[in-house]
Amino acid sequence: MDKLAELVDKIRADGGEAVAFPLDVTDPESVKSFVAQTVEALGEVELLVSSAGDMLPGQLHEVSTEAFAEQVQIHLVGANRLATAVLPAMAARRRGDLIFVGSDVGLRQRPHMGAYGAAKAGLAAMVTNLQMELEGTGVRASIVHPGPTLTGMGWQLSAEQVGPMLADWAKWGQARHNYFLRPSDLARAIAFVAETPRGCVVVNMEIQPEAPLRDAPAHRQKLVLGEEGMPG
């Protein structure tokens, strides 16, 4: 909440309007309270960006069923809770936007990210269903799939934790360079989807970090890990 409070202060200082409320997408009552507080403070929800996330690395046979279920609860069930909390009012007004943050891991699996990838793949399927079922209602549903992004999620791990994962990524051709998306890149993509004029809908969007130039130093041409762990 401290980071959110700082962001709210910055938006207000820049002349915008913002509020922040606690939200746990795995808790039905928290979702209801969050939506109610938001509506009271800002009016009806016109746009929902569902981006709550957490990444649990590990080979599937080493991840407990309980931990696997937690990933599904956060990324899939939590997104469903948020969507169903705001959809009735959107459908009644015949307008609204649902934007879900997926992952390229939900499209192309990566070793050591099986629980996360399975949950994100389920999210992609859910959004496809929403798109079909909401057609003609005035409510648009979109999903944005980011590639590797430098956020606090999953990257604050030691070399011992991440080294074997990156080695397997390289084995499957998934560690070609060490460039990452910035959070602002993802925000820009979400804003593009939200600002798309009515009469058009962005169904799916995938964004990836641009590769280094071919004459860049060799160490930039592959994803390697130093003793300090993941970059951050």
Residue-wise pLDDT for 143-194, tens only, equals: 999 998 887 665 566 667 778 888 888 888 887 787 889 999 999 999 999 9
Cβ-count burial of 155 within 10 angstroms (0-12 exposed, 13-18 middle, 19+ buried)? middle
74 is in which domain, residue-wise? 46-220
Contact 1, 23 (CB under 8 A): no
Provide the CATH number for the domain around residue 120. 3.40.50.720
Residue 212, classified by CB atoms within 10 Å of its CB into exposed (0-12), middle (13-18) or buried (19+), is: middle
Q: Are 186 and 101 in contact (CB under 8 A)?
A: yes
Q: Is residue 139 domain-shared with residue 212, that is, in the same domain?
A: yes
Q: Identify the H or E element spanning 99.
A: strand 96-101
The answer to whether position 226 is within a domain reads no
Q: Tell me if 162 is assigned to some domain.
A: yes
User: Do 17 and 130 share a domain, yes or no?
Assistant: no
Catalytic residue among 100, 116, 169, 180: 116
Residue ranges, the chain, pLDDT below 50: 227-232
Q: Are residues 3 and 80 in the same domain?
A: no
Return the exposure string of 36-62: e unless at least 16 CB atoms fall within 10 Å of the residue's CB, then b: eebeeeeeebeebbbbbbebbbbeeee
Number of domains the chain contains = 2
Q: Are residues 24 and 106 in the same domain?
A: no
pLDDT, position 2: 80
State the amino acid at position 139 in one-letter form.
Answer: V
Please indicate, yes or no, whether residues 129 and 14 belong to a single structural domain of this protein.
no
For residues 9 and 67, membership in a common domain is answered with no
17 with 51, same domain: the answer is no
**Residue 155 confidence (pLDDT):** 58
**Model-level pTM?**
0.90
Same domain, 86 and 123: yes
Q: Are residues 15 and 103 in the same domain?
A: no
Residue 116 appears among annotated catalytic residues: yes
Contact 63, 114 (CB under 8 A): yes
In this structure, the answer to whether residues 25 and 58 fall within a common structural domain is: no
Same domain, 68 and 104: yes
Place of tokens 């809770």: 81
Q: In the chain, which ranges are continuous DSSP H helix? A: 2-13, 28-42, 65-72, 78-93, 114-134, 159-171, 183-195
Contact (Cβ atoms closer than 8 angstroms) between residue 111 and residue 172 = yes
